[in-house]
Structure 1
């Protein structure tokens, strides 16, 4: 994964993860099985879904701490600040999935409960649950199937991965709905629920002309309020958030087509080539032309 620190030297915001393996593919899903003793405070613009296999420790999400132990499942939404650390003498063994939010919002499932899970409702939902006894064994088998499928090269692999991912999410939701479950209050700031429909809208319409003013009219919120919430809750300016989505699309076009770079800029939602060029260099550390040549050599 690549790291980027927003806000310059001494910024109040933690490290920002903005890429992971497979992020620029048709199926932006990545999974690993790894041991940890500690992971410093960070945030990212993709979903992280994890399952603890062994070990004990603590995780802090937006400043609120909870236990990590075998059977703990955490669903971390984009831009939430989190860190975790194993207990003294312990090592955390975890399955961790990283994937783009649109994997869950592009199908009919979004109307069947996924939308509520991601963007909130009047009922708070925990960011984590813990499976015990028989539920833990079922969860372990499910996550192992997901990992084996991810590591395989079988036909229709993305279809099976998405099906298994939805099954693990279903288990997460049902585990949190149990009367004796280990639920806590929603880890997101209460004001964040106002911003999530906007986040989803921008994810769906980032190739179109978007401004704080147009979003203000769409969602009946003052532009200054939208700007303030992006900064205080996600640690990122709205325009940077928008540019990062567009540059990700740009990279896909540069890799998969021979489209002239000027056309790529406009196809990615930018109305100004200088703005596009500056945004691309800030994110990738090179020009679009150099990026295309580098990716061509690597491929």
Structure 2
């Protein structure tokens, strides 16, 4: 499925204003998709790659995200987890209209609308206590009627008070239609995601899209929020991260499998994207990995 073209999910809110869900891994619910509702999403087990709009990054157990309307998203657990996780995701979906009307009736609640504005690009709540996050989710899950709404409001207030909110997607992705330029860019993105290890120049990508290099580069930046080279390298680095802590393979081999021609080039790009060397990343990831694996057993 295209990283640009998400599956559109319809959420039935005819009998309830918010929807609670939880699921394990693997699951058919884990897919690249978008919907009109906001989604508060807590990862409770495993680790892997988060895709939110044009953002590609790592996630681990305890991470809490908030995505805005029509912002495509997916969380893909790395292959190091060979055993299924009974519960990997706890999430709540809700509409902008519900919160907006609440703010109209209770002006004190209007500050939460600023939180929802940030969520248009996706938010990860860095440093938010995972025990508290799970407690809020369980309160929403276990209550009914008005008590569920109160638990949900209490959660939103705490999130709004949390200082460390990191926005994720540089731009909301444009939905491709028909034979538009966006659709042709989407085809190139699909090719990159499936064939990231192959050599692909800007000229070849432009030819695949049926555009000049200048036009292609401009449209690619608009649709994805990244330059072609930056996007390709981010995909490759993301794949390399999974291989670094999922195997004992030598870093030289991993760099080649990820599509980098030489180790020095790989190290330079890895440091730029992750802020550490591949060996440092492997050591750090494996230190975090052990307790998370115990949590899922």
* TM-score, scaled to structure 1: 0.48
The structure showing larger relative contact order (alpha-carbon pairs under 8 Å, at least 6 residues apart) is 2
